[in-house]
Amino acid sequence: MLVSTLCWAHKQRTLKQIRERNFEQNGGNMLLQRLSQQQGYTDRTKIFTQVELQNATNNFDEDRILGRGGQGTVYKGVLPDNMLIAIKKSKVGGDPRQIKDFINEVVVLSQINHRNVEKLLGCCLETDVPLLVYEFVDNGTLLDHIDPLKNECSISWETRLKIAVETAEAISYLHSATSIPIIHRDIKSTNILLDHNHRAKVSDFGASRLVPLDETQVTTMVQGTLGYLDPEYLHTG
């Protein structure tokens, strides 16, 4: 009995050390520092535990996968209160630049409160790669609805116009209404999610940039998807 207890205690200490190491490697200290600089936003971003998200996704079962992309895999999860969530499992693997982009996405989204922007609920940094937890948006991407190869029952032009207006309102909010202006830098049909009422939700802020209010002209390293980039931004930064 004593040996079993000692082995269990040793295993728990080892797991705790792994979680602490992952938290540091995934930019946990950087995130806490950045969030502490944003007054009033820290409480909006919950730090989930690894166990909570394993339980929500049935241990990240393949059947829970909503999609895969260049930035990672997205899983559908269910919290104990039956709230549906989307969990983005990043492909960040210790690269300082990728970690910085990940932390930037968390900090950016922690400031945003708009009905046409996908809401960030929190993140988990205890796992080998960081996880972002979002509200669940149940009707796929805009591309899923306008690409004839994916959907023969294309949405109406009236609905498309509504989605365009809502997306424009979200971008206007990011540029003008947030405490620090936000440049998304990768607006495209796969980054616009739709709910069951075809309401637009702008998503994927990994390439975003916070712009201090005192900067009238801002030069950034060009990021985004070719074919969707603003020509002036592409040529001048």
Q: How far, rounded to the nearest angstrom, does the alpha carbon of residue 34 sit from its chain's CA centroid?
A: 16
DSSP-assigned states of every residue in 11-79: HHHHHHHHHHHHHHHTTHHHHHHHHHTSTTTGGGSEE--HHHHHHHTTTT-GGGEEEEETTEEEEEEE-
Tokens of 35: 């969030």
Range of weakest confidence among 9-23, 59-73, 130-144, 212-226: 212-226
Q: With bands split at pLDDT 50, 70 and 90, how would you rate the model's confidence at 31? A: confident
Q: With bands split at pLDDT 50, 70 and 90, how would you rate the model's confidence at 4? A: confident
Most confident of 22-31, 76-85, 148-157, 205-214: 76-85
pLDDT digits (tens, 9 = 90+) for 57-92: 999 999 999 888 666 789 999 999 999 999 988 766
- Which residue segments constitute the domains of the chain, with CATH numbers given? 24-135 (3.30.200.20), 142-236 (1.10.510.10)
Say whether 138 is catalytic.
Answer: no
pLDDT digits (tens, 9 = 90+) for 158-196: 999 999 999 999 999 988 887 778 888 778 888 899 999
Whole-model pTM? 0.75
With beta carbons less than 8 A apart as the criterion, state whether 123 and 22 touch.
no
More confident: 48 or 35: 48
pLDDT digits (tens, 9 = 90+) for 100-135: 777 777 777 777 889 999 988 988 888 888 888 999
Position 36 scores a pLDDT of 75
The answer to whether residue 215 scores a pLDDT higher than 60 is: no
Give CA angle at 80 (111, 93), nearest 5°: 55
Range of weakest confidence among 48-62, 123-137, 220-234: 220-234
Burial of 224 (0-12, 13-18, 19+ CB in 10 A): middle
pLDDT above 90 coverage of the chain, percent: 30
Tokens of 40: 């009033």
> What phi and psi values does residue 180 have, to the nearest 5 degrees?
-125, 125
Q: Which of 101, 144, 186, 214 is catalytic?
A: 186
Cite the beta strand spans of the chain per DSSP E. 46-47, 65-69, 72-78, 84-90, 120-124, 131-135, 182-183, 192-194, 200-202, 209-210
Sheet of 72-78, strands arranged across: 46-47, 120-124, 131-135, 84-90, 72-78, 65-69
Position 83 scores a pLDDT of 93
